[in-house]
Amino acid sequence: MKCPHCQVEIHENFFSLPIRPPNSNIGYVGKHDGDFAYWVVEGMACPACGEAILKLRRGLGALFGSEKEYLVYPKKATRANAPKEVPQLIANDFNESCLVLEDSPKASAALSRRCLQATLRDKGYKQHDLVKAIQAAIDSNQLPTSVSENLDAVRNIGNFAAHPLKDTLSASIEAVEPHEAEWNLDVLEELFDFFYVQPERSKQKRASLDAKLATMGKPPMQ
């Protein structure tokens, strides 16, 4: 499985909690989907990031295997967290937007809109209005064509013409269109890659090339 905190692939090694008598089981608690089920809480620490992962397992009896499992902590995001190269405040909004996506697409879209605006502002598109910031980013011709077109679609999917962006949270939540939440996150992933991940990768490549050149007694690349 992938650790729901850090997304690193880890070997599952869950144990029952707590480790003390009589046992760690919750046991039978009424019916579940019409059947009597036996519940066990299990947990493990991720070997990569050290964070706790807890799950609730349903079986037909104490000794029977797992029928169904529910991840209870952390509440699993449907997408990977923002890459580590992304500034913390922007990453926080993105991660939270992913986390609430399933339960509340409206809340998710409100967060991802804010995240889009913060990302564009961080890259010099400081227009107060998200629609204008998107236009400025497109007009700058700095973005790869596909990213630019997908960013443009944010405005259409969000139907910003029909619902001008409002400053209050409740107004911006009410105006969310279907599919907007998913789309905003897709576009943010592309922007993160273009603005933060790729430049960092190129920087590291150049640094390692310069190191090689230095060992050969040659000057660094410009």
Q: Footprint of Zn ion on this chain (CB under 5 A)?
A: 3, 5-6, 46, 48-49
Q: Name the nearest CA neighbour of 74 among 53, 91, 58.
A: 53
- The CA distance from 26 to 57, in Å, is 10
DSSP secondary structure of 76-124? PPSSPPPPTTS-HHHHHHHHHHHHHTTT-HHHHHHHHHHHHHHHHHHTT
Residue given tokens 């993105």 in the structure block: 94
Residue 91 or 176: which CB sits closer to Zn ion?
Answer: 91
Q: Residue 190 Cβ, how far from Zn ion at the closest point, in Å?
A: 25
Residue 6 or 56: which CB sits closer to Zn ion?
Answer: 6
Q: Residue 74 Cβ, how far from Zn ion at the closest point, in Å?
A: 10
Residue 48 or 72: which CB sits closer to Zn ion?
Answer: 48
Q: Residue 48 Cβ, how far from Zn ion at the closest point, in Å?
A: 4
Residue 54 or 173: which CB sits closer to Zn ion?
Answer: 54
Sequence-distant (≥ 6) Cβ neighbours of residue 104 within 8 angstroms: none
- The CA distance from 183 to 197, in Å, is 20
Q: Residue 115 Cβ, how far from Zn ion at the closest point, in Å?
A: 23
- The CA distance from 119 to 87, in Å, is 9
Dig out the tokens for 95 from the structure: 């991660």
Residue 48 or 54: which CB sits closer to Zn ion?
Answer: 48
Q: Residue 81 Cβ, how far from Zn ion at the closest point, in Å?
A: 10
